[in-house]
């Protein structure tokens, strides 16, 4: 069992810097495309055998130091009773956006074992196969709320902010319900065997710090507090969150995820006694070997004083990334960080 990743999460000494990549089970791999060619995205998410297969691919092919459950952050939102569709190339769509108290009242808090049992089954199956730690995950409440309120992805989040600024009680009522659902969902993942949990706040970066503090952070804190008894390391990743780092530390997470926009050394100064995860620009995987080596060395040097460092991309790996370049990055991190 390779437990380098878990040691780094806890800030313990490791023989080298562990690496995994957000979206490592994904479209850049022809092996993933082959599986995905026969099923829709939602069918794949709900099929434990296929989820296991694609989760394992980057571990076997690229030698990652951690696996992350293949799933989607919106799976538990669908289980709350909101119809969800994925249109090829268009991202997720909720045809019935949640914008009224009635709509919030109609949302259910699902039993995660009963209604998203396929996720828990995937975790149980994976634990039998894996020789690296398994990361479970969820979206953060603010990010999940944006999808429900906007009815899908958004560029500017007009409807979300309109609700925050003109109907804050309604917004908080929605956040309450999403938080309860998410907390139970992650607790179920822990029971099923997840060995670390990452909370993805993909859209937190659209909030001013004062709004993040009022509308988003308290809900992340509640979830992480609920997870204390599991003893699992919790990773909180607020994408585009360089100006939210001081607040993100207050989430209670053990590891702070960093996007590529900030120098990792500066981030570590602000994060203090927490482990960090990140943070190469995913597109920098395109660099020729000599430059990629230099870029990775720079991040490793910058993370010298971290209380634990897990190497990762600053965002999900892009679908057009050549797998050989991803493999090269993994090998370089292992080589350059060997102690």
Q: Name which of 39 and 208 has its Cβ closer to a second copy.
A: 208
Distances, alpha carbon 301 to alpha carbons 140, 157, 257, 296, 306, in Å: 30, 37, 17, 9, 10
Distances, alpha carbon 222 to alpha carbons 112, 244, 301, in Å: 18, 18, 34
Question: Considering 3, 32, 65, 72, which one is annotated as catalytic?
Answer: 72
Question: Considering 28, 32, 147, 236, which one is annotated as catalytic?
Answer: 147
80 and 181 Cβ atoms separated by less than 8 Å:
yes
State the Cα–Cα distance between residues 66 and 59, nearest whole angstrom: 7
Q: Is 27 labeled as catalytic in the residue annotation?
A: yes
Q: Is 191 labeled as catalytic in the residue annotation?
A: no
Task: Examine residue 205 and tell whether it contacts a second copy (CB under 8 A).
Answer: yes
Task: Examine residue 209 and tell whether it contacts a second copy (CB under 8 A).
Answer: yes
Question: Which ranges in the chain belong to alpha helices (H)?
Answer: 4-9, 30-36, 41-45, 48-62, 75-79, 101-106, 112-115, 117-129, 141-150, 158-166, 168-192, 209-211, 217-227, 245-249, 264-271, 289-302, 323-337
**From 24, 143, 179, 240, residue interacting with a second copy (rule: CB under 8 A):** 240
Provide, rounded to whole angstroms, the least separation between the CB of residue 1 and a second copy.
34
Provide, rounded to whole angstroms, the least separation between the CB of residue 139 and a second copy.
19
**From 121, 263, 297, 327, residue interacting with a second copy (rule: CB under 8 A):** 263
State the Cα–Cα distance between residues 238 and 255, nearest whole angstrom: 11
Retrieve residue 11's tokens.
């800030």
Q: Which stretch binds a second copy (CB under 8 A): 96-104, 131-139, 188-196, 284-292?
A: 284-292
Q: Which stretch binds a second copy (CB under 8 A): 12-20, 38-46, 105-113, 200-208?
A: 200-208
134 and 124 Cβ atoms separated by less than 8 Å:
no
Q: Is 72 labeled as catalytic in the residue annotation?
A: yes
Burial status of residue 176 (CB atoms within 10 A of its CB: 0-12, 13-18, 19 or more) = middle
Residues in the interface with a second copy (CB under 8 A) total 34
Q: Name which of 121 and 281 has its Cβ closer to a second copy.
A: 281
Task: Examine residue 23 and tell whether it contacts a second copy (CB under 8 A).
Answer: no
Task: Examine residue 156 and tell whether it contacts a second copy (CB under 8 A).
Answer: yes
For tokens 């179920």, the residue is: 188
Task: Examine residue 266 and tell whether it contacts a second copy (CB under 8 A).
Answer: yes
State the Cα–Cα distance between residues 67 and 19, nearest whole angstrom: 10
Q: Which stretch binds a second copy (CB under 8 A): 98-106, 110-118, 189-197, 209-217?
A: 209-217
Q: Which stretch binds a second copy (CB under 8 A): 62-70, 110-118, 160-168, 304-312?
A: 160-168
- List Cβ neighbours of 207 (8 Å cut-off, separation of 6 or more): 142, 215, 216, 244
Helix (H) / strand (E) containing 201: strand 196-201
Tell me the per-residue interface mask from 285 to 304 with a second copy, x by CB under 8 A, - otherwise.
-xxx--x---x--x------
Give me the active site residues, please. Answer: 23, 27, 36, 72, 147
List residues near a second copy by CB under 8 A. 156-158, 161-162, 165-166, 205-211, 240, 242-243, 260-263, 266, 281, 283-284, 286-288, 291, 295, 298, 314, 318, 320
């Amino acid at each position: 069992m390779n437990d380098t990743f878990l040691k780094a999460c806890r800030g313990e000494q490791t023989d080298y810097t562990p690496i995994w990549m957000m979206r490592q089970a994904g479209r850049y791999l022809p092996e993933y495309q082959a599986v995905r060619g026969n099923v829709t995205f939602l069918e794949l998410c709900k099929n434990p055998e296929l989820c296991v297969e694609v989760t394992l691919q980057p571990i076997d092919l690229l030698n990652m130091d951690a696996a992350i459950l293949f799933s989607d952050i919106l799976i538990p939102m669908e289980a709350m009773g909101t119809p969800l569709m994925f249109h090829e190339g268009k991202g997720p769509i909720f045809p019935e956006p949640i914008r009224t108290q009635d709509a919030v009242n109609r949302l259910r808090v699902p039993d995660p074992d009963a209604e998203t049992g396929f996720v828990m089954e995937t975790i149980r199956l994976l634990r039998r196969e894996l020789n690296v730690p398994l990361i479970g995950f969820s979206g953060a409440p603010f990010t999940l709320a944006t999808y429900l309120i906007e009815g899908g992805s958004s560029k500017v989040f007009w409807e979300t902010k309109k609700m925050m600024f003109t109907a804050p009680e309604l917004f908080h009522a929605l956040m309450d319900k999403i938080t309860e659902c998410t907390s139970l969902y992650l607790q179920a993942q822990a029971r099923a065997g997840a060995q670390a949990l990452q909370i993805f706040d993909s859209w937190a970066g659209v909030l001013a710090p004062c709004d993040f503090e009022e509308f988003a952070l308290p809900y992340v804190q509640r979830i992480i507090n609920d997870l204390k008894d599991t003893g699992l390391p919790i990773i909180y990743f607020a994408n585009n969150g360089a100006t939210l780092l001081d607040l993100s530390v207050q989430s209670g997470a053990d590891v702070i995820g960093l996007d590529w926009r900030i120098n990792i050394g500066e981030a570590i100064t602000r994060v203090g006694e927490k482990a960090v995860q990140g943070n190469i620009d995913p597109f920098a995987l395109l660099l020729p070997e000599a430059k990629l080596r230099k870029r990775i060395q720079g991040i490793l040097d910058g993370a010298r004083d971290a209380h634990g460092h897990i190497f990762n991309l600053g965002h999900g790996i892009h679908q057009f990334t050549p797998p050989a370049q991803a493999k090269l990055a993994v090998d370089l991190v292992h080589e350059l960080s060997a102690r």
